[in-house]
Amino acid sequence: METVAVFGAYGHTGRFVVAELIERGHVPLLVGRDPDKLQAVARPGLETRQASADDPASLDRALKGAAAVINTAGPFATTGAPLIEAALRAGIPYVDVAAEIEANVDTFAHFTERAQAAGAVIVPAMAFYGGLGDLLVTAAMGDWTSADEVHVAYGLSSWHPTAGTLAAGAVSGRRRGGRRVRFTGGRLDYHDDALPTLEWTFPAPLGPQKVIGEFTMADVVTVPSHLAVPEVRTYMAAQAAADLSAPGAQAPAATDERGRSAQTFVVDVLVRSGGEERRIAASGQDIYAISAPLSVEAVERVLTGRTRTTGVASAGAIFDAPDFLRALSPHLTLHTDR
């Protein structure tokens, strides 16, 4: 039984992470900026600690006695670096669920050397966007050490964004000056091109769906961080993209005892090298809820030494990707006969 600090414990994803830790026999330490919101999620036997990203001393107090920290509080452009600094001071692993492309780039750029020198473990984007796609791509690659192209298509039945998603998107938009981003020629490319509408054939029963091409997600950071692939392209179901950008978009509504929404998803991965193709897909329910087993499984593996490296590392680099995906079988269905 380990004590794991959850920064943003009262947030939408944070609550799923707290529940997952309890279910696995760990003791979550509830940490957040707002004392009233912390009190609202307090429960017997669990400690709450107020801390904010702009107060290093409060973060040090909040992480005292924790074996690891999971950061679920965006925008990660604001919270990521201060929490990583605090984790390094505390000598504990750091995991976050950041989907913000630039925030993840910052984590690799600013902390790789320090984390390696300290033998520390920092795992960014350990969530539905970034982490899951990276695990699937790594598993699909198998014995390939490089590939020509990686394609990750997201077949979401809908996308009702949380307040955190909208806030993080606004921050990313400002950082890009309103431009779009893609990963091509081995680097991030900022552009003003219109995004094409294409058709992608997902595994049954979803089948052919209209998708928005170059709807770029965090996979363009995680995958190239450890795999030699010059082209990483991601796609989003057109209906989900429309939901996300709709005026007055509604937050997810709980429909089961776990608090999950009715949203379903398929993440379909295609890897090309020369004339060969390899494919794998995963399906499940609720993109926010699935980030909990992803991040908690990561913490468990780090704390039990089931890792391949130290420093700043994406999911596919630090973990055995096929084994990690199999461990998620209560939450994900893999489609390997693509």
pLDDT tens, residue by residue, 22-72 = 999 999 999 999 999 999 999 999 999 999 999 999 999 999 999 999 999
25-34 confidence digits (pLDDT tens): 999 999 999 9
115 close to 311: Cβ distance less than 8 angstroms: yes
DSSP per-residue letters across 241-259: HHHHHSTTPPPP---STT-
Give the model's pLDDT for residue 337: 66
Report whether pLDDT(76) > 60: yes
318-333 confidence digits (pLDDT tens): 999 999 999 999 999 9
Structure tokens at 43: 């429960």
Task: Tell me the pLDDT band of 338, cut-offs 50, 70 and 90.
Answer: low
Please, which residues bridge with residue 232 across strands?
150, 183
Rounded to two decimals, the pTM is 0.97
CB atoms near residue 10 (< 10 Å): 23
263-292 confidence digits (pLDDT tens): 999 999 999 999 999 999 999 999 999 999
In the chain, the domains with their CATH numbers are 3-127+292-318 (3.40.50.720), 142-286 (3.30.360.10)
Report how far apart, in Å, the C-alpha atoms of 249 and of each of 15, 158, 269, 308 are: 21, 11, 28, 41
Please, which residues bridge with residue 89 across strands?
none
116-169 confidence digits (pLDDT tens): 999 999 999 999 999 999 999 999 999 998 999 999 999 999 999 999 999 999
Task: Tell me the pLDDT band of 205, cut-offs 50, 70 and 90.
Answer: confident
Report whether pLDDT(334) > 70: yes
Tell me what the mean pLDDT of segment 244-254 comes to: 90
* Terminal-to-terminal C-alpha distance of the chain: 39
Q: What is the mean pLDDT of the chain?
A: 96
Give me the phi and psi of 223, to 5 degrees please.
-65, -55
